[in-house]
Structure formats: C-alpha cells, structure tokens
Amino acid sequence: MVPGWGQLRNGSEFRGGVVFGLQTYFLLRYRVAERRGRFYDEERSAENPRWDSAYLDERVADSKDTRGDMVWWSVITLLYSVIDAYVDAHMVGFDEQIEEVERVTFSIEPNGEEGAAFVLSSHF
C-alpha cells in the first residue's frame, strides 16, 4: 500500500526512497495535470473565454496525455517495486546459505622441477 515499503523492510533504504519519490512525483504530476485540464475545460465552456477555443482544446488534450503518461509510469514503477521487494524477500539469508555449502576447489601447484600436482580440496 505504501510505495517503497517492501524495499525498506528488506533493508534497501535507497531503493525504497527512490520508489517512494518516483511514485509521489507521478501522483503529484497526475493531480496537477488533472487540475490544469479541468481549469482549461471550464474556461472553454465559459461565456467569454480568455483564449481562443483551439488553444484551449490543445491544453485540455495535453493535460489528458500527461495524465495518461503519469498513470503508465506509475504502473511501471509499481510493478518494479513489487517484483524487487518479492525477490529481495526471497533472497534474505542467501549469503549465509552459500557460506554453509560445501566448498570443493581444485588447483594445479608446482611440484619441484619435475612438474605439477593437481590438488583437489574440500572445505566444510
């Protein structure tokens, strides 16, 4: 419900702040475009508009386009946020699990002047 909350809960404060900032920005831009479009639409239907009708029609259309763009960017950001938080939640403790896995390594070490030795080692 709160943009960026999943990232904050998973310990990714920077990404949580970025997601929250982007969602807030898109919401505010949507509201400004909506109010601006309403203003120009009311001006268009007034008895004595301050501007000609072609200009007002263009402003209303621009406002509608901006609102549509902000909705799409908000949805994209929301999807990123949900997927990122989901993946982060499932990766909690992954580094510790890797540490517990048996380590098998091999190397080739020089064996005097006669050649080399193949060394296979296992760490638990």
- Chain mean pLDDT for the chain: 84
Quote the percentage of the chain above a pLDDT of 90.
44
What pLDDT, in 10s, does the model give residues 21-39? 999 999 999 999 999 999 9
What is the per-residue pLDDT for 122?
Answer: 66
Task: Return the bridge partners of 104, or none.
Answer: 122
Amino acid 108 reads I
What pLDDT, in 10s, does the model give residues 42-53? 998 888 888 888
Structure-model confidence comparison of residues 87 and 66, the more confident one = 66
Phi, psi of 107 (to 5 degrees): -155, 165
Angle at the Cα of 37 (from 35 to 38), degrees rounded to 5? 65
Amino acid 14 reads F
Domain ranges of the chain: 5-123
